[in-house]
Amino acid sequence: MTDDSTDGRRIFVVVGVTVVFLAGLLGFFVGANGADVAPAISVLGVFSLSTTPVTMTLYGMVLAVVALAGLFGLVTLASRFDEAG
């Protein structure tokens, strides 16, 4: 019998890295092209970020990591309940 949890984790890692990379790439393009329209953006009304390729890349990647960590955490929690049943 093989351990399917290792394969599942590997898939989650590949999907996660891909999504974070794409979010960074999209952030780079937004920062490169959006500075003319809006030199700065307000994040939740708490702080302001300048619209540069570097800041938008980092913002996109951090936002993707936080969202994926939440989603993958929920999947892990759900899988624990599945094993109990």
Phi/psi of residue 60, nearest 5 degrees: -65, -40
More confident residue, 1 or 60: 60
For the stretch 41-68, what's the b/e string if a residue is b when 16 or more beta carbons lie within 10 angstroms of its beta carbon? eeeeeeeeeebbbeebbbbbbeebeeeb
Q: Residues 7-52: pLDDT tens digits?
A: 777 888 898 899 999 999 999 998 888 777 777 778 788 888 888 8
d(CA 75, CA 53): 32
Q: Token digits for 37? A: 């329209």
User: Which position has the higher pLDDT, 82 or 16?
Assistant: 16
pTM beyond 0.85: the answer is no
pLDDT > 50? residue 1: no
Report which secondary-structure segment, H or E, holds 81: helix 53-84
- pLDDT above 80 (res 74): yes
